[in-house]
Amino acid sequence: MPNVTMTVNGKKMSGNVEPRTLLVQFLRETLGLTGTHVGCDTSQCGCCVVHVNGDGIKSCTILAVQCDGADVKTIEGVANGDELHPMQAAFREHHGLQCGYCTPGMVMSALDLVKHNKNPSEPQIREWLEGNLCRCTGYHNIVKAIKAGAEAMAKARP
Amino acid sequence: MYNFEYHKAKTIADASAMITQKSEAKLVAGGMTLIPTLKLRLAKPSDLVDLNGLPELKGIKREGSAVVIGAMTRHVEVAESAEVQKAIPALAHLASHIGDPAVRNRGTLGGSISNNDPVADYPAAVVALNATVITNKRKIAADAFFKGMFETALEPGEIVTAVSFPMPEKAAYMKFPNPASRYAIVGVFVAKHKDGVRVAVTGAGPCVFRQKDMEAALAKNFSADAIKSIAQKQDGLNGDIHASPEYRAHLVGVMARRAVAAAG
Amino acid sequence: MTARLIGDPVRRKEDRRFLTGKGHYTDDINRAGQVYAVFVRSPHAHAEIKSINTKRAAGAPGIVAVYTGADLVKAGIGTLPCGWGVKNKDGSPMAEPPHPVLASGKVRHVGDPVAVVIAESKAAAEEAAERVDVTYKELPSVTAVDAAVKPGAPQLYDAVKGNLCYDWHIGDKAAADAAFAKAAHVTKLDIVNNRLVPNAMEPRAYIGDYDRATGEHTLFTTCQNPHAIRLLMGAFVLHVPEHKLRVVAPDVGGGFGSKIYHYAEEAAVTWAAAQLGRPVKWTAERSESFLSDAHGRDHVTHAELALDLSGKFLGLRVSTLANLGGYLSTFAAAVPTYLYATLLAGTYTTPAIYAEVKGVFTNTVPVDAYRGAGRPEASYLLERLVDKAANEIQIDPAELRRKNFIPKDAYPYQTPVALAYDSGDYFATLDMALKAADYAGFAKRRDDAKRHGKLRGIGLATYIEACGVAPSAVAGALGARAGLYEVAAVRVNPTGSVTVLTGTHSHGQGHETTFAQVVAERLGIPIDQVDVVHGDTAKTPFGMGTYGSRSLPVGGSALVKALDKVEAKGKKIAAHLLEAAEADIEFKDGKFTVAGTDKSKSFGEVALAAYIPHNYPLETLEPGLDETAYYDPKNFTFPSGAHVAEVEIDRDTGVVELLKFTAADDFGRIVNPMIVEGQVHGGLAQGIGQALFEECRYDPESGQLVTGSFMDYRMPRAGDLPSFAVATHATLCTHNPLGVKGCGEAGAIGAPGAVMNAVLNALSTVGVSDLQMPATPERVWRAINDSKAAA
């Protein structure tokens, strides 16, 4: 079995994987990082979005071996210790989550959006969430949270 | 997923050799179609040969009156490229509406056209812009590249390395997405070139095709009105729960007119 | 002074773990030595199983075991029970054919499980599952409910004639017929309520475990009601007594009804774990969820409304065919009967109502309660019918509704279909919604849209729902085979913090926050001193779980009763400590005070005294401060409201764009408005989804599920929806201590009618007068074309 090494949330992590092992399986099963979820088998729900080398990627649609040497960030690596990241805090403040299952993917997608667009409008946020399904919130408060989160991040930037 | 051997290609020649030698080897580019297919156990390749990590397959550059885009260039890179936005804004627009952001961060031009999914967006651009597909072996004209459903002119061991898109005078792409999957139910790319107009339709049929009646009419008068009375025939078009052949045929007209209007 | 908490948008206690990836969902759990189950499912809609050969699978690498239906029968495993019995018109019981854990003899829908393969890894189990050789003899199948009742239709069960599970009715037929005889106008409507797939984002997942030393079974499950699963699975399927069966529902990623039921896979993994002495884990793939989670809705109905000259409703006749699927799911029988036809009075004074419902077996996945469960079907039917009547007699739809609303002073109001509404003000919510939606200014917006070539429409719907499920005796008389009370234990810890144990289950609803608000306000302690525990039969007392907007009306009421007991006992302790008479002790803001004095003991001091009873009336009072209360509601609660939708239609493509959605709801008292709004938003998205996007389709020839993944089943996305305008107007529930009514299902109940009435309002300008849900682009485009052709 090939051995892969990647930097996950700032720490070097290694493991032996079958070539068919998906990144999400490596994260959940080998590394025990179960914050990244799987909600479908057709690469559409976005529950599994993580960042690979800074880009939002569906971790269910990439092999772990393809990420050998990559820098991976998951929901577990977003907060600064006990302090929630401004985007996480905005989700809490605006009730942008209910059951919490789609939430990690939503937060990771939202952070990817802010990377591309520092001040997204409501329509831009809604369009960006094309690949993230939520069944609880009707998206209303997720959209609000992402807008507020982006604004908070802009303020926090020097 | 069935198991397979994984190889990270070190050179294009290396990749070409591997897929020729191995019995059931497959190339993986962005993997946006291949990996879901593997997950559903609908394919059982012996080997995967990964093209990620070959820098010579990446990049966007202007060459004379054409924009040349490396096969492993991600959709997001095309969408956000200042070069593409300036030279062929319709192409950047098309790329910015493929799948969703995570798909665009991973999916590639070469992967899309080599797979030739009848509902993919890029084939419409390649055909309408009269692009040239460049492989490790030769150059293939757009009209000769797409052969049929999931079928291209690529030969065993042949790998798309880049696509050269000539700059049109004006162009636009309009897509009516599948409400569930977001692939194109109908996508129409209209491009006005110096020497004529090309109208390429994806999603509607088993393979991208040119709407030549519309091309002729638009060559005379590049306006939405000029194609108002041209009805797309529904024979041979795709039909599913989201759109019958009749509805798709109707949408070809609507999307074509909107594309012409958008092209200005 | 302690802050008032009831009514505050307190931010949720549960969010931190979900936002940092520390939620604890079933699939996140791994047990030492666990093996993995994969189910072999029928590829056919209807077939005889001629043989199952497991030899090749048994030799597969990593294989641990293969079990078939025959193995379960041999082991004496029971069939999956139905929790509600419905009677036919003639009083005879409904047909109740057995629902085996693994099919034996016959398969009755695509996805019906026939064997379970267990291996060292999931991949090995998948590979072995492909080596289970099942020989089927295919039979003709029927998936559409109206086709299944036709003579000559394929029959699912030898013992069930005409695929008819029951032929049930309610109301006074003679009175309804008499009303129609004297009607000035009759409006008729044929209407389909489309089949939906719940699609909670977390797929179902189970882990069975067994401790040979103690004989204790454990099931980790994605369910909404662990105690009910323990009872159903223990008593009826596995024959394991409750004290040897623990059911844990940890964090659960949404339910919407689909995780209420006892599923075959739960029983299979629990049983297999005991056979193997190893934990057995199963997690559904999404495509498997489509084939095995209970679906929702799926009615075909003919309805008629009789009106007098002034537009007053005189009578209503309804005839519904309800698709139950291939087997009876846990509450399947109740949904299209007692949760549907009893709501047909709606918000109106219709004096005579008669409804008949045929429950029908078809070769489809079992159908059961999905958010709203019966009530969306009733509301959609009524509101379409009322709008059609308004168009026919040329009266404004809002006006016709007002003319027929139950007056504000008419409560309690007895409907002709069994329910007695306790409170409401339908005029207020309608006015609120119309004002917020600028109903009066619509004509101008329609004209503006017309200038841009768009068809604009506005539509409204009012609704009532029966929630707070349920008064046990009433439910029992109607066929329920379970109690429907709720329970809460308030465990005051020695230092004055509180642990609440509730029988309800939170899978997105935020009980950990709402329930804590109720406790913290009542006891005058900080909210962070209150923790709410749910979802584990080893920890919580026997409660019935969460569905039917019941958690706060029923579970919250139990909690208030337990708090009453805590306060009463606290007063006794305080009286002793303060050397005063118990009757003189007042409890306010976290302090026990001798009335008219400044002598007091804090709640914490009383709690400490209860557990360190050195100075304590031990002769008359037990130590400790830990009280449990059960609450069985006197009546259902009746949330109501008015919803307004505004749409624009692109004539060229048939695409409907929802521009604006306004909801004004009456949920009684509101504990946390932020959470309530969130519940409404989510319900609206599902209701809008039903109206515009979602439809579970089977191929009528092959019986194959056509919409078997998100590639084909059209889920609502962020870009499909506007931000919603939601508001509330409270009339308090008269019979529970909090005055609350429940809010979980309202959005899904009101939205379909409002959206479809808006779509039809827009299309009326081009001559379209009828359209079934969902209003998909092609369907709308065809309707426009057909009406053009007809004109």
Is C121 near chain A, with CB under 8 Å? no
**Do B68 and B107 sit in the same domain of this protein?**
yes
Residue B241 located in a structural domain: yes
CB C281 within 8 A of CB C397: no
CB–CB contact B244 C778 (8 Å): yes
**Residue A158 banded pLDDT, cuts 50, 70, 90:** low
Which of B42, B178, B242, B258 should we substitute to test contact with C (largest number of C Cβ atoms within 10 Å)?
A: B242
Condensed to tens digits (0 to 9), the pLDDT of residues C124-167 reads 999 999 999 999 999 999 999 999 999 999 999 999 999 999 99
Strands C413-414 and C420-421 turn out to be antiparallel
**Do C69 and C206 sit in the same domain of this protein?**
yes
CA-CA distance, B37 to B43, in Å (whole number)? Answer: 6
pLDDT of residue C789: 78
CA-CA distance, C359 to C162, in Å (whole number)? Answer: 11
Stretch (H or E) spanning B133: strand B132-135
**Do B191 and B249 sit in the same domain of this protein?**
yes
DSSP state of A97: -
pLDDT of residue C788: 81
Q: How far is CA C509 from the centre of its chain?
A: 12
Please report, for chain B, how many H helices and E strands are present, in that order: 11, 14
CB–CB contact C714 B250 (8 Å): no
Task: State which amino acid sits at residue C477.
Answer: A
List all chains that touch chain C, counting a touch as 3 or more CB pairs closer than 8 Å: A, B
Which chain B residue's Cα is nearest to A70? B53
**Do B126 and B230 sit in the same domain of this protein?**
yes
ipTM computed for the complex: 0.98
CA-CA distance, C243 to C565, in Å (whole number)? Answer: 27
What percentage of residues in chain C have a pLDDT greater than 70?
Answer: 100
Last residue of a domain, one of A28, A44, A77: A77
In which order are the strands placed within the sheet that holds C280-283? C63-68, C113-119, C35-41, C280-283, C205-211, C216-221, C245-248
What residues of B are in contact with residue C710 (Cβ under 8 Å)? 180-181
Domain extent for A33: 3-77
**Do C611 and C647 sit in the same domain of this protein?**
no
**Do B98 and B23 sit in the same domain of this protein?**
no
Distance from CA of B3 to the nearest CA of A (A): 6
Q: How many CB atoms lie within 10 A of CB B63?
A: 9
DSSP for C589-627, written as a single string:
TTEEEETTSS-EEEHHHHHHHHHSTTSS-TTTS-S--EE
Which chain C residue's Cα is nearest to B99? C711
Stretch (H or E) spanning C267: helix C264-276
Which chain A residue's Cα is nearest to B98? A130
Measure CB to CB from residue B36 to each of A43, A65, A116 and give the nearest one. Answer: A43
Which chain B residue's Cα is nearest to C696? B241
**Do C672 and C587 sit in the same domain of this protein?**
no
**Do C676 and C745 sit in the same domain of this protein?**
yes
Condensed to tens digits (0 to 9), the pLDDT of residues C544-601 reads 999 999 999 999 999 999 999 999 999 999 999 999 999 999 999 999 999 999 999 9
**Do B142 and B18 sit in the same domain of this protein?**
no
CB A59 within 8 A of CB A22: yes
Helix (H, G, I), strand (E, B) or coil at B42: coil
Is A66 near chain B, with CB under 8 Å? yes
Handedness of CA C106, C108, C109, C115 (dihedral sign): negative
| Predicted confidence (pLDDT) at residue C769 exceeds the cutoff of 70 | yes
**Do B41 and B77 sit in the same domain of this protein?**
no
**Do B74 and B187 sit in the same domain of this protein?**
yes
CA-CA distance, C550 to C531, in Å (whole number)? Answer: 20
| Predicted confidence (pLDDT) at residue B181 exceeds the cutoff of 90 | yes
**Do A46 and A24 sit in the same domain of this protein?**
yes
Question: What's the CATH code of the domain at B17?
Answer: 3.30.43.10
Domain extent for C502: 485-631
What residues of C are in contact with residue A135 (Cβ under 8 Å)? 198-201, 254, 256, 682, 685-686, 715
**Do B74 and B44 sit in the same domain of this protein?**
no
Q: What is the mean pLDDT of residues C30-56?
A: 98
**Do C446 and C521 sit in the same domain of this protein?**
no
In which order are the strands placed within the sheet that holds C313-325? C164-171, C352-361, C313-325, C299-307, C185-193
Helix (H, G, I), strand (E, B) or coil at C348: strand
Distance from CA of A56 to the nearest CA of B (A): 5
Residue C152 located in a structural domain: no
Residue C742 located in a structural domain: yes
Residue C50 located in a structural domain: yes
What residues of A are in contact with residue B6 (Cβ under 8 Å)? 2, 19, 63, 65
Q: How far is CA C48 from the centre of its chain?
A: 34
What residues of B are in contact with residue A112 (Cβ under 8 Å)? 101-102, 105
Is A120 near chain B, with CB under 8 Å? no
pLDDT of residue C453: 93
Residue B201 located in a structural domain: yes
Which of B4, B8, B35 should we substitute to test contact with A (largest number of A Cβ atoms within 10 Å)?
A: B35
Stretch (H or E) spanning C264: helix C264-276
**Do A70 and A22 sit in the same domain of this protein?**
yes
Question: What's the CATH code of the domain at A139?
Answer: 1.10.150.120
Which of B7, B27, B39 should we substitute to test contact with A (largest number of A Cβ atoms within 10 Å)?
A: B39
Tokens in use for B169?
Answer: 């005078």
**Do A49 and A70 sit in the same domain of this protein?**
yes
CB–CB contact A44 C711 (8 Å): yes
List all chains that touch chain A, counting a touch as 3 or more CB pairs closer than 8 Å: B, C
- Number of folded domains in chain B? 2
CA-CA distance, C83 to C369, in Å (whole number)? Answer: 12
Condensed to tens digits (0 to 9), the pLDDT of residues B211-247 reads 999 999 999 999 999 999 999 999 999 999 999 999 9
Domain extent for B44: 5-50
**Do B64 and B46 sit in the same domain of this protein?**
no
Task: State which amino acid sits at residue B140.
Answer: I
Task: State which amino acid sits at residue C9.
Answer: P
- Number of folded domains in chain A? 2
Residue C159 located in a structural domain: no
**Do B116 and B78 sit in the same domain of this protein?**
yes
Distance from CA of C525 to the nearest CA of A (A): 23
Distance from CA of C119 to the nearest CA of B (A): 15
- Number of folded domains in chain C? 3
CB C437 within 8 A of CB C755: no
Residue C554 CA: distances (Å) to CA of C9, C489, C633 = 21, 14, 6
- For all residues of chain B together, what is the average pLDDT? 97
Tokens in use for C429?
Answer: 């919510």
Question: What's the CATH code of the domain at C622?
Answer: 3.30.365.10
**Do A31 and A92 sit in the same domain of this protein?**
no
Last residue of a domain, one of B28, B50, B72: B50
**Do C681 and C782 sit in the same domain of this protein?**
yes
Helix (H, G, I), strand (E, B) or coil at C511: helix
Q: How many CB atoms lie within 10 A of CB C199?
A: 25
**Do B85 and B132 sit in the same domain of this protein?**
yes
Distance from CA of B232 to the nearest CA of C (A): 15
Q: How far is CA C764 from the centre of its chain?
A: 34
Last residue of a domain, one of A77, A107, A142: A77
Q: What is the mean pLDDT of residues C304-316?
A: 98
Tokens in use for C15?
Answer: 């969010």
Distance from CA of C535 to the nearest CA of A (A): 14
CB–CB contact C715 B1 (8 Å): no
Q: What is the mean pLDDT of residues B109-116?
A: 97
In which order are the strands placed within the sheet that holds B170-177? B170-177, B184-193, B196-202, B209-210
Condensed to tens digits (0 to 9), the pLDDT of residues B66-100 reads 999 999 999 999 999 999 999 999 999 999 999 99
Last residue of a domain, one of C631, C652, C667: C631
Residue C110 located in a structural domain: yes
Instruction: Give which of B181, B65, B64 is closest to B118, Cα–Cα.
Output: B181
Q: How many CB pairs under 8 A join A and B?
A: 80
pLDDT of residue C791: 74
Task: State which amino acid sits at residue C65.
Answer: A
Is C200 near chain A, with CB under 8 Å? yes
CA-CA distance, C623 to C494, in Å (whole number)? Answer: 11
CB–CB contact A133 C715 (8 Å): yes
CB–CB contact A103 C19 (8 Å): yes
Is A102 near chain B, with CB under 8 Å? no
Q: How far is CA C148 from the centre of its chain?
A: 26
Last residue of a domain, one of C578, C609, C631: C631
| Predicted confidence (pLDDT) at residue C434 exceeds the cutoff of 90 | yes
DSSP state of C95: P
All residues at 6 or more sequence positions from C525 whose CB lies less than 8 Å from its CB, including other chains: C2, C496, C497, C498, C519, C590, C603, C604
Residue B55 located in a structural domain: no
Largest Cα span, chain C: 91
pLDDT of residue C1: 41
Q: How many CB atoms lie within 10 A of CB B150?
A: 13
**Do C75 and C212 sit in the same domain of this protein?**
yes
Angle between helices C426-436 and C397-404 (to 10 degrees): 160
Residue C381 CA: distances (Å) to CA of C189, C191, C316, C384 = 9, 7, 11, 5
List residues of chain B with CB under 8 Å from any CB of chain C: 1-3, 40-41, 176, 179-181, 240-244, 247, 250-251, 254
Question: What's the CATH code of the domain at A30?
Answer: 3.10.20.30
**Do C507 and C610 sit in the same domain of this protein?**
yes
**Do C102 and C45 sit in the same domain of this protein?**
yes
Alpha-carbon Rg for chain A in angstroms: 15
- For all residues of chain C together, what is the average pLDDT? 97
Condensed to tens digits (0 to 9), the pLDDT of residues A90-119 reads 999 999 999 999 999 999 999 999 999 999
**Do B101 and B192 sit in the same domain of this protein?**
yes
Give me the residue label for tokens 């930037």.
Answer: A157
Distance from CA of A89 to the nearest CA of C (A): 8
List residues of chain C with CB under 8 Å from any CB of chain B: 123, 126-127, 287, 652-653, 693, 697, 706-707, 710-715, 776-778, 781-782
Task: State which amino acid sits at residue C555.
Answer: G
Alpha-carbon Rg for chain C in angstroms: 27
Is A8 near chain C, with CB under 8 Å? no
Is C32 near chain A, with CB under 8 Å? no
CB–CB contact B254 C652 (8 Å): yes
The backbone torsions φ and ψ at residue A27, rounded to the nearest 5 degrees and listed phi first, read: -65, -45
Residue B160 located in a structural domain: yes
What percentage of residues in chain B have a pLDDT greater than 90?
Answer: 98
Is C18 near chain A, with CB under 8 Å? yes
What residues of B are in contact with residue C652 (Cβ under 8 Å)? 254
Task: State which amino acid sits at residue A99.
Answer: C
Q: How many CB atoms lie within 10 A of CB A83?
A: 9
Question: What's the CATH code of the domain at B168?
Answer: 3.30.465.10
**Do C210 and C103 sit in the same domain of this protein?**
yes
| Predicted confidence (pLDDT) at residue A42 exceeds the cutoff of 60 | yes
CB C561 within 8 A of CB C517: no
Distance between first and last Cα of chain C: 72
**Do A142 and A110 sit in the same domain of this protein?**
yes
pTM of the model: 0.97
CB–CB contact C693 B241 (8 Å): no
**Do A10 and A54 sit in the same domain of this protein?**
yes
CA-CA distance, C682 to A134, in Å (whole number)? Answer: 9
Angle between helices A103-116 and A140-156 (to 10 degrees): 50
Which of B33, B97, B100, B178 should we substitute to test contact with A (largest number of A Cβ atoms within 10 Å)?
A: B100
Q: Work out the angle at residue C636's Cα, subtended by the Cα atoms of residues C557 and A99, and round it to the nearest 5 degrees.
A: 65
Residue C622 located in a structural domain: yes
Last residue of a domain, one of C576, C603, C631: C631
pLDDT of residue C4: 84
Instruction: Give which of B89, B263, B65 is closest to B165, Cα–Cα.
Output: B65
Condensed to tens digits (0 to 9), the pLDDT of residues C650-693 reads 999 999 999 999 999 999 999 999 999 999 999 999 999 999 99
What residues of A are in contact with residue B80 (Cβ under 8 Å)? 116
CA-CA distance, C93 to C98, in Å (whole number)? Answer: 15
Q: Helices marked H in chain B — which ranges?
A: 12-21, 34-39, 75-80, 82-87, 89-95, 101-104, 109-115, 122-128, 142-145, 212-220, 245-263
Last residue of a domain, one of A53, A77, A101: A77
Residue C307 located in a structural domain: no
Residue B131 located in a structural domain: yes
Task: State which amino acid sits at residue B213.
Answer: D
Distance from CA of C715 to the nearest CA of A (A): 8
Distance from CA of C749 to the nearest CA of B (A): 23
